[in-house]
Chain A
Amino acid sequence: MATRSYTSRREAEQYAFHPAVALLIPLVAVVLQATGSKVFPRLALLDLPLIVTIFFAVARRSPVAGTLTGAAIGLFQDAFTNQPIGVNGMAKAVVGYMAANIGVRLDVENTKTRALLVCSFSLVQSILLYLIRSRLLGVQGLQVLWLHELLRAIANAAVAIPVFFVLDRVKRQE
């Protein structure tokens, strides 16, 4: 007879967000990324919109919502760059989809799980961005600095832990 453990009950929980929160938090993340990088140039290493995408995807546990949220955040982020609009949109759409699928199967409330999740998806995004630029856009001579991307993944994971704790307060249980 299968027993239902506490973790399996938590896995079934889905959270919702107030529409204003769902709209404002990604907006703040993108604007903070753009403005903060001017004050602290090292902040460009982080990807706050990615952290927010992963948070919403694992909280909602809906692949469709995760895909659409990631796409919207990525498109908004692309508008501030000189790249064609859609590069980050595609990458974050895939990340949102994958994060939501994993959120259904794993306990993502655990701090270590969250850190590992963010670190892994940061590397996945780096690979996706490289493929999009080199294969779809045909950018010649593109090089990926893997050590730099690894540092970016670790930095994202480190920042994601306190950010997730703060964002946990705006979750509403369905």
Chain B
Amino acid sequence: MDSFFARYKNPLVLIAVLLAQTIGLAVQVKRPDTGERDGHHVRMVRLWAVSIALPFERIVHGTGRDIRGAWTNYINLLHVRQHNRDLEQEVAQLRLEQVALSEDAIQGHRLQALLEFQRHYISTTVAAQVIGTSGSDQSRVIYIDKGSANGLKPDMAVITPDGVVGKLRDVFPHTAQVLELDDPSSGAGVVLESTRILGILRGTVAGGIQINNLTADSRIQPGERVLTSGGDQVYPRGLNVGTIESIKPDPEHQPYMAIAIHPATRLEQLEEVLVITGTQTTLPAQMQKDLSGAAATAEAARAASTATERLPGIEDPAHPTAGAANTLVPPRPLPALHSDRFTPGATPPAAELKPGGDGATSTSGSSPGSAP
């Protein structure tokens, strides 16, 4: 007769495996005393797994980049010139806008300094390529090709020129895991641009992002921009998060609303990101230089406008007739010293003239002059 263990070997193995993993889950859920997200052994397991996959991810990413580069740099040049022109126009437009806003910005900074108001500006960033993902739509993380060897640390903000992507979760020597904003475990402190209402942004199971800690407010409208508030000490203040897409009651969190946000960055098609490695409370040097240049340009434009107003013009602005219609009046001829038949008024009317007659006879009061 078979023993108990031999008879029920299969279910016993299953129960043992499940029990071991349940214990492992319980150990992981209890947060480590060191304050890190994962314990030492869990981190080692993740490091081994990522180290196995990293070379393949780099090869695939490099191959794809080379193919895309060959296509865009040599084959697909049809629209490069037009794209270049469009970009130049956009840059010129942005420069003009910068000139207009520079003075307000400088005044704002002066006022902030007076009030001893501290704001953190981005000082240093590290560019990184996205080389992989978690492979699951229930865990929205991406892997980048930079790690602790490049100065990266956990909880550093990750952005693109369009907006916020997320933050670093796990950092390994040559790669790092980025937790995207649309992951259910992700969160960020945000502020609505026009109404300045503070909120907390969270990812949803469906892969979206929403604010779910605000009550109904008529001031909150779709289309309003959402920025980072800086209150979470992770994302610097003022970074673009997205725009409000819809506002609906949240049945699971009454009386709060579910404010869906359309992210500014296309989180599912990321190629390059910037990791914010340093912030400072003063304006970065490049930004100061740009603002100074823009302010100088604005000052020069104002001075030119003032000088133009003061220069003498063809018409005296103080004269009442200035601005009247420009009609050319021919100068009146001087009166003749000795009148003759060409003198105005010396020629008789045509009705009194006879063919073959002397046309020099004058019927007007003026006496005909002697023939020269």
Are A and B interaction partners?
Answer: yes
**A residues adjacent to B (C-beta < 8 A):** 27, 30-31, 33-39, 41, 44-45, 47, 63-64, 67-68, 71, 75-77, 79-87, 89-90, 93-94, 97, 101, 129, 132, 136-139, 141-145, 148
| Total CB contacts across the A-B interface at under 8 A | 144
Interface segment out of the listed B41-49, B71-79, B81-89, B227-235? B41-49
Closest to A45 in B: B137
A85 to B46, CA, bound (A): 9
**Are B22 and A136 neighbours in the complex by a CB distance under 8 Å?**
yes
Q: How far apart sit A85 and B177, CA to CA, in the bound complex (Å)? A: 15
Task: Give the residue of A27, A34, A139 whose beta carbon is less than 8 angstroms from that of B133.
Answer: A34
Pairwise interchain contact A67-B13, C-beta atoms closer than 8 A: yes
Please indicate the chain B residues that have their CB under 8 angstroms from the CB of A27 in the complex.
52
- Beyond known contacts A38-B132, A80-B46, A90-B17: 16 more, CB 8 A cutoff: A30-B53, A37-B133, A38-B57, A38-B133, A71-B17, A79-B45, A79-B49, A81-B135, A82-B134, A82-B139, A86-B24, A136-B22, A138-B29, A141-B252, A144-B205, A145-B206
B132 lies within 8 A of A35 (CB): yes
- Determine if B17 and A68 form an interchain contact, defined as CB atoms under 8 angstroms apart: yes
Provide the residues of chain A in CB contact with B131, threshold 8 Å: 35, 38
A-B contact pairs, 15 of them (CB 8 A): A30-B135, A34-B143, A38-B131, A38-B133, A47-B136, A64-B9, A68-B17, A71-B21, A77-B135, A80-B136, A81-B139, A82-B141, A85-B46, A138-B29, A144-B205
Chain A binding surface SS class = helix
Contact B25 A86 (CB under 8 A): yes
Instruction: Tell me if B179 counts as interface (CB < 8 A to partner A).
Output: yes
Whether the Cβ atoms of B17 and A67 lie closer than 8 Å is yes
Quick check: is B173 within 8 A (CB to CB) of the other chain?
Answer: no
CA distance A132 to B135 in the complex (A): 19
Asked whether, in the complex, the Cβ of B133 is within 8 Å of the Cβ of A67, the reply is: no
Please measure, in the bound complex, the distance between the C-alpha atom of A83 and the C-alpha atom of B139, giving whole angstroms.
7
Interface centre among B10, B28, B57, B179 (most CB of A within 10 A): B10
In the bound assembly, the distance between CA atoms of A3 and B254 in angstroms comes to 66
Restricting to B15-35, which residues have a CB under 8 Å from any CB of A? Answer: 17-18, 21-22, 24-25, 28-29
Instruction: Please tell me if B64 contacts chain A, counting CB pairs below 8 Å.
Output: yes
